[in-house]
Amino acid sequence: MKRFLAILHARNLEFIRDRAALSWGFLFPTALMMGFALLFSNGDQELYKVGILGELNHPFHESRYINFISVKNIEQAITKVERHQLDLLIDPKQLRYWVNSSSPSGYVAEQMLKASGGKTFKENNVSGKEIRYIDWLIPGVLGMNMMFSALFGIGFVIVRYRKNGVLKRLKGTPLTATEFLMAQIVSRLILILFVSTTVYIGCHLILNFSMYGSYISLFLVFTLGSLAMIALGLLVASRLKSDELAAGITNAISIPMMLLSGVWFSLEGSPQWITFISKLLPLTHVVDASRAIMLDGASLIDVSHHIVALIAMMLLFLFLGVKLFRWE
Amino acid sequence: MTSILKVNSLTKNFQTNIAVNDISFQIKKGQCFGMLGPNGAGKTTTIEIMEGITQPTSGEVFYKGKPIGHLFREQCGIQFQHTALQDFLSVRETLKLFAGLYPKTSDLDDLIQRCNLESFLDSDNRKLSGGQRQRMLLAIALINDPEIVFLDEPTTGLDPQARHNFWDLIKNVLSRGTTIILSTHYMEEAAELCDEIIIMDRGHIIAQGPPNQLLQQHFNEQLVRIPEQKLPKTSIEKLKQPDDFQHILFQSTSFQNDGWVEISTTDVNKTISNLIRDGVDLNFLQIRQRNLEDLFLELTGKGLRE
Ligand SMILES: Nc1ncnc2c1ncn2[C@@H]1O[C@H](COP(=O)(O)OP(=O)(O)OP(=O)(O)O)[C@@H](O)[C@H]1O
Ligand SMILES: [Mg+2]
């Protein structure tokens, strides 16, 4: 424990004094989110999105400027109409449709349906506050920032230590690999949670995004997610001795992860293999779970499958990372 | 005296390269044990096996009669040849970090004073001069108050003054009864500090013993040196064909690159009177003892630092 604390303290000092890395850790996610908030401040996509239950054989299907999305679960689809994520939802079999009475684009899509001979459809009104893209994006960007900080922060430090002989020097002391690695993990975890909380509060003050769930649940998901991704960083760094190779591998993991975890756009409707791969990525579970908590007010039980997945990944990566670790 | 560390037929192969080839030796408690040899001789490899950092291909190391294990890390002090320390930490913080890694530690203030670290205690440890850095690394090696300390080329790259300062620190450590294993390329360092040395070359031990004894064993003659230009032509001819001129008593003569002629002799008086008889100007004559450098040259046919 004494040894663990000694290394933890040294690592924290080192990080706090590394001004460049520290300011980057805060600036990057904040700037990213502010940038998006500006870009999407008039928040509308040009296309209208219409959900279809089953098959639609109707002239309306020929309409231009409409993105038809086939949906299966009617309840989820209705929730999307409430959130303004779908402008219109059509059930062709039972000749009915749903529209959000407070959504202007819902109104336009409804008029287009009627104009193309859809007068026979029965109207169902729902209501609900719009979820802006930025609301949807916040959990994703926080998660993504966590991932970069975990993978690059931990991997590079360890590889650099190994390359320049710091690890060898430590190997010459009674310090064990597990103690050393745990200190690295805890130091990084504290940092990530601190940065994420600060960025969260800062962005909340400026952007006033939605948060319907419990902060404790969100914190738990972020903690587990950070741990899983830090452990992945450890695994990558367990043997490498070259910065370049470490950078290459870390990029090869983090960039696809960023694209395939639904940070920027929803993966709904993507091919099955993409959905499958995305489920193997820790970031997907962080983003999905935190989104469910923040936007739907989901409880821990609702997101328990994500939590189980994160714990399993964390344990697997940790086990392998410690097992494969070499000082030299 | 009892031996504190015992090395038993140690061999280490790196792929096809045999870095250490079946060597054995014992180190007595409280002595300064020197390891000499040219680049690539296998000094570092041997030291790191003794420290438990490198696994040998075969052979054993015993500390106080028992094979070294993980606990040995708590009992020994290590100064690596090549090492780095955490960035952004001051000397004081680095010492505290390492102190935190051992169950038993020396008194830090005392250590700081003994290693002369006061003047740069709060500097970033990346901004130290070579001498300061080696002193800090020595302090780290001593931080757990070890009974045995491994110093791998601690004075390489230091200027002569810094080197002499470092020798004083080492003597101070020795005076407390600590056993030191020291590798070096400097013969005068080994002669100054070591009670016993081994000379290594290509993974083998080629000589072992106290430095003076080794010299006596291998050399019973002294060197008479004269600049070549101060010798008359006739003498040069004679010296070049010593067999034809039995009247000059010498065992061998060598013409050095630096323009000096070295006559190796067991009877300095006779050599000098022979030179006088030949009319050689003795104003520039030098006489020197054989040193470890010569020994190494004699044993391996090459210099220690090439
Ligand atoms: N990790 C390694 N992998 C492969 N070969 C190695 C390794 N370490 C050392 N060697 C080789 O083993 C031999 C002995 O090296 P070693 O470092 O022990 O020599 P040394 O006597 O310490 O030399 P120097 O005076 O340059 O420090 C060299 O030929 C070296 O190239
Ligand atoms: Mg060496």
Q: What are the extents of the domains in chain B?
A: 3-216, 221-289
Instruction: Find out whether B86 and B126 touch, Cβ atoms under 8 Å.
Output: no
Residue A6 Cα to ligand 2 midpoint, Å, equals 30
Q: Is the CB of B39 under 6 A from ligand 1?
A: yes
Q: Quick one: what percent of chain A has pLDDT higher than 90?
A: 27
Q: Are A5 and B86 an interchain contact pair (Cβ–Cβ within 8 Å)?
A: no
Average pLDDT over residues A233-250: 88
> CATH number of the domain at B3-216, please?
3.40.50.300
Alpha-carbon span A283 to A265, nearest angstrom: 14
Nearest to B88 among A18, A168, A174 (CB): A18
Residue A137 Cα to ligand 1 midpoint, Å, equals 54
**Would you list which residues of chain B are within 8 Å, Cβ to Cβ, of chain A?**
51, 53, 70, 73-74, 78, 80, 82-89, 93-94, 96-103, 140
Partnered with residue A126 across adjacent β-strands are A100
Please give the average pLDDT of every successive group of 10 residues along chain B, which has 306 residues. 87 91 93 91 93 92 89 91 86 93 91 91 88 92 94 90 92 94 89 92 90 79 80 71 48 66 79 80 82 76 57
Nearest to B86 among A5, A14, A174 (CB): A14
CB contacts, 8 Å: A168 with chain B = 53, 80, 83
> CATH number of the domain at B221-289, please?
3.30.70
Nearest to B101 among A165, A166, A175 (CB): A175
Q: Is the CB of B37 under 6 A from ligand 1?
A: yes
Alpha-carbon span A295 to B112, nearest angstrom: 58
Residue B154 Cα to ligand 2 midpoint, Å, equals 10
Q: Are A164 and B84 an interchain contact pair (Cβ–Cβ within 8 Å)?
A: yes
Q: Is the CB of B269 under 6 A from ligand 1?
A: no
Q: Are B86 and A166 an interchain contact pair (Cβ–Cβ within 8 Å)?
A: yes
The rounded radius of gyration (Å) of the Cα atoms in chain B is 23
Which residues make Cβ contacts (< 8 Å) with residue B2, sequence separation at least 6?
B28, B29
DSSP H helical ranges for B64-221: 72-75, 91-99, 108-114, 130-141, 160-175, 187-193, 211-218
CA distance A5 to chain B (A): 8
Average pLDDT over residues A256-275: 81
Q: Looking at this predicted complex, what is its ipTM?
A: 0.79
Same fold, B3-216 and B221-289: no
Nearest to A10 among B78, B80, B86 (CB): B86
CB contacts, 8 Å: B73 with chain A = 172-174
pLDDT of A287 above 50: yes
Q: Which residue has the higher pLDDT, B305 or A267?
A: A267
pLDDT of A113 above 70: yes
CA distance A15 to chain B (A): 8
pLDDT (tens digit, 9 = 90+) per residue, A139-182? Answer: 888 898 899 889 888 888 899 899 888 999 999 999 999 999 99
A288, containing H or E segment: helix A282-296
Q: Are A10 and B70 an interchain contact pair (Cβ–Cβ within 8 Å)?
A: no
| CA of B79, nearest ligand number | 2
| CA of B46, nearest ligand number | 1
- Which pLDDT score is estimated for B247? 42
Alpha-carbon span B193 to A140, nearest angstrom: 64
CB contacts, 8 Å: A164 with chain B = 84
- Which pLDDT score is estimated for A187? 92
Residue B152 Cα to ligand 2 midpoint, Å, equals 7
Mapping DSSP to helix (H, G, I), strand (E, B) and coil, where does residue B93 land?
helix
Which of these, A111, A140, A264, A157, lies nearest to A203 by C-alpha position? A140
Q: Which residue has the higher pLDDT, B166 or A204?
A: B166
- Which pLDDT score is estimated for A1? 82
Residue B81 Cα to ligand 2 midpoint, Å, equals 6
pLDDT (tens digit, 9 = 90+) per residue, A174-190? Answer: 999 999 999 999 999 99
CB contacts, 8 Å: B88 with chain A = 13-14, 17-18
| Confidence bin at A26 (pLDDT 50/70/90) | confident
Among B36, B45, B181, B182, which is best to mutate for testing ligand 1, by the most ligand atoms less than 8 A from CB?
B45
Average pLDDT over residues A122-128: 80
Which of these, A152, A133, A87, lies nearest to A264 by C-alpha position? A133
Residue B47 Cα to ligand 1 midpoint, Å, equals 11
Q: Is the CB of B81 under 6 A from ligand 1?
A: yes
Instruction: Find out whether A128 and A82 touch, Cβ atoms under 8 Å.
Output: yes
pTM above 0.95, yes or no: no
Average pLDDT over residues A7-26: 81
Q: Are B83 and A165 an interchain contact pair (Cβ–Cβ within 8 Å)?
A: yes
Partnered with residue A97 across adjacent β-strands are A90, A123
Nearest to B88 among A2, A14, A175 (CB): A14
Of A2-16, A198-212, A224-238, A304-318, give the lowest mean pLDDT range: A198-212
Q: Which residue has the higher pLDDT, A94 or B29?
A: B29
Q: Are B80 and A168 an interchain contact pair (Cβ–Cβ within 8 Å)?
A: yes
Alpha-carbon span B77 to B73, nearest angstrom: 8
Q: Is the CB of B42 under 6 A from ligand 1?
A: yes
Q: Which of B50, B51, B88 to mutate to test the interface with A (most CBs of A within 10 A)?
A: B88
Alpha-carbon span B180 to B170, nearest angstrom: 8
Query: A191 — contact with chain B (CB < 8 Å)?
Result: no
Q: Which residue has the higher pLDDT, A37 or B28?
A: B28
Average pLDDT over residues A230-249: 89
| Confidence bin at A42 (pLDDT 50/70/90) | low
